[in-house]
Amino acid sequence: MALIVQKYGGSSVADADCIKRVARRVAETRQGGDDVVVVVSAMGDTTDELLQLAEGISERPGPRELDMLLTAGERISMALLAMAVEELGHLACSFTGSQAGVITDAAHGRAKIIDVAPGRIRSALDEGAVVIVAGFQGVSQETDDVTTLGRGGSDTTAVALAAALGADLCEIYTDVDGVFTADPRIVPAARRIPAISYEEMLELAANGAKILHLRCVEYARRFSIPLHVRSSFSRNEGTYVTADAEGNVMEDAIVSGVTHDRSEAKITIEGVPDKTGEAAAVFTALAESGINIDMIVQNVSAGDTGLTDISFTLPAADSATALHTLEGIKDRIGFRGLRHDDRIGKLSVVGAGMRSNPGVSATLFSALAAAGVNIEMISTSEIRISVVVHIHDLEAAARAAHSAFGLDGDQIEAVVYGGTGR
C-alpha cells in the first residue's frame, strides 16, 4: 500500500461538476488500496474575486488581513471536495494549512514553509480517511497567524506534505498532459516528455516553462520526491520528474526541451567607465532596490575610449524601478546614458546531455542564423543555453531550435492543451 499525494489546481475544481470528477479520481486511487492526501487550490477565479473585494475596500490592504481573506478560497474548495468524496462512500476529512501542520515564516503573501507537522493528517489516514488539505496556506510559527505561500504555493504544499509524510509519489494534476518539449501553442511539433530530471525541470521552470513553479521543483529535488505531472482531464500518463530521469524523448537528443519567456526587458547602461568596481556598484544599487537581474553582458571597451556598455535583463515589471535607481547613481558612476527595451524575448534550450556533448551552442546559433534570427545576448549554464532575441523573432527561434535538436515529433501523438471534458 502506497501513500500518494495528489494536487489539483483551480481549473480542476472550478465548479461542482469538476469537483465531482476530481472526487471520482481520488476515490479510484483510494479503491486501488493506496492512502491518498489531496492538496487543493481555490475554485477557478475565487482568489481573483476575493482580491477584487479587497480592492473595493483598500488600495493597499494589510498583508495579514489579505492572507486571512484569501485563505477562505481553499477552505471552500477543500470542504466541497471532502463532501464529494464522502458522497462516493469514502471517509474524507479536510484540513486547513494550519490544521495540516504547514508551519511557515511570518512573511505574509510569500511565506516560506519552515516545517510540516502532519500529526492530524496521519491520524486521519490511520482512520482510513482520504485527507484533503488546503494548498497555498500555512500558519506562522512566530505569530500564529494564517499565511499564504505566494505563487506556486499549492504545488509547494503538495511536495512539502509528500516529504513530511514520506509519500511514494506526488501527482501534480493540471490542465495539460505533462511537460512538453516546447509550448505546443508555439511549436506544434512539441511532444510530451515522459521523464525528466529535477535539474532539467528546474532550468525549464526558471526559464519560462509555466507548468511547474521553480519553488516546488526545488523542494522536490531537495527531498527526492518523485513528481508526476499529468492532466486531470485525461487518463494519459504525464511526465515523471525524478532524480535520475533524463528527459530526452529520442535517444540521441542532447536537448530535452525548449522554453521561451516574454516577461523580461533589457536595460543597457551606455558609456560606463571601464574601471574595477563600477559594475559592482551598479548591481549593488539594483539589488538594494529589490530587483532580480537575470542575464548580464558587458562588452569589451570600444577602442581606447575607456568606456564600456553593460546590458542586463530583468522582469519587465521592475523596469521603472530599475531606471529610477540607475538615474539616481548616474553622477556617481559617471555613465553616459540608459537604453530600455521591452521588445525582447528569451529562448532557452535545456538538456542534461549538454554536459557530454560539445557543439550545442554552435548548433543553436547556426539554426537561429538559418532562420534569420539575430541574437542580442547569450548566457549559459551547465545544462542550458539562453539567448535574447527580438520579440518578433521569438516564436520562429523556438521552432528552429526545437527542430535543430531533433525534438520534432511525428505529430501522431495528439497534443492536448486546456479545454474541458477530456
By CB under 8 A, name the binding residues for a copy of itself.
16, 19-20, 50, 53-54, 56-58, 61-62, 64-66, 68-69, 71-72, 75-76, 78-80, 82-84, 86-87, 92-94, 99, 120, 144
Q: Which is nearer to a copy of itself, 123 or 305 (CB)?
A: 123
Q: What's the min distance (Å) between Cβ of 167 and a copy of itself? A: 23
Between 19 and 170, CB nearer to a copy of itself: 19
Q: From residue 82, give the alpha-carbon distance in Å to each of 6, 77, 172.
A: 14, 9, 18
**Alpha carbon distance 246, 190 (integer Å):** 17
Beta sheet of 344-350, edge-to-edge order: 257-261, 344-350, 384-390, 375-381
Nearer to a copy of itself, 14 or 400 (CB): 14
Q: How far is the CB of 200 from a copy of itself (least distance, A)?
A: 39
Query: How far is the C-alpha of 364 from the C-alpha of 13, rounded, in Å?
Result: 41
Beta-sheet strands, E only, within 342-374: 344-350
Q: How far is the CB of 45 from a copy of itself (least distance, A)?
A: 14
CB of 27 to a copy of itself, least distance (A): 14
| Residue 238, helix vs strand vs coil | coil
Give the burial class of 31: count Cβ atoms within 10 A of its Cβ; 0-12 exposed, 13-18 middle, 19 or more buried: exposed
Calpha distance 45→39 (Å, rounded): 17
- Angstrom distance (rounded) from CA 247 to CA 357: 15
Of 13 and 113, CB closest to a copy of itself: 13
Measured torsion, CA atoms of residues 50, 52, 53, 56, in degrees rounded to the nearest 10: 160
**Is the Cβ of residue 68 or residue 186 nearer to a copy of itself in the bound state?**
68
Joined together, the cell numbers standing for residue 366 give: 547556426
Cβ 187 to a copy of itself shortest distance, Å: 39
Comparing C-alpha atoms, which of 216, 58, 78 is closest to residue 150?
216
Q: How far is the CB of 26 from a copy of itself (least distance, A)?
A: 13
Q: Which residue lies nearer to a copy of itself by CB, 76 or 293? A: 76
Closest CB to a copy of itself among 42 and 225? Answer: 42
- Minimum distance, C-beta of residue 186 to a copy of itself, in the bound complex (Å): 37
